[in-house]
Amino acid sequence: MAYELLWTAYSKDDYRRLDASERIVVDKGLARIQERGMEAGQPLSGALAGCRKIKHRKLGLRIVFREMEGRIEVMEIVAIGKRADGAVYRTATTRIDL
């Protein structure tokens, strides 16, 4: 089963701002999300409960994603960015409707 990825305008901009080496890593994470859906990555808590993350420690990058309610097999990419003091998580929190 392959999941469809749905991008927000913001997350697409996050992706465009990545350099070539970062895109390679993120593309691998996105492929994992497409293949495994919510089984990919680790769960988040607090304001981002219901979201999951895939992380690349060496580059400090995170992909924050969630399953879209009312949609079958659709994963929404909420944010892509560096963890730096939780910046990517604060950004993701402002982008989701809780």
pLDDT in tens, 61-93: 999 999 987 666 788 889 899 888 888 999 999
Structural domain including 10 reads 4-95
Residue pair 33/40 in contact by the 8 Å Cβ criterion: yes
Nearest Cα neighbor of 43 from 30, 27, 55 is 55
97 Ramachandran zone, left/alpha/beta (phi>0; psi -120 to 50): beta
Rounded to whole angstroms, the Cα distance separating 46 from 5 reads 24
* Residue 56's CATH number: 3.30.2310.20
Q: What is the pLDDT of residues 23-55, one digit of tens each?
A: 999 999 999 999 999 999 999 999 999 999 999
43 backbone dihedrals φ, ψ, rounded to 5°: -70, 150
How many separate domains does the chain show? 1
Report pTM. Answer: 0.83
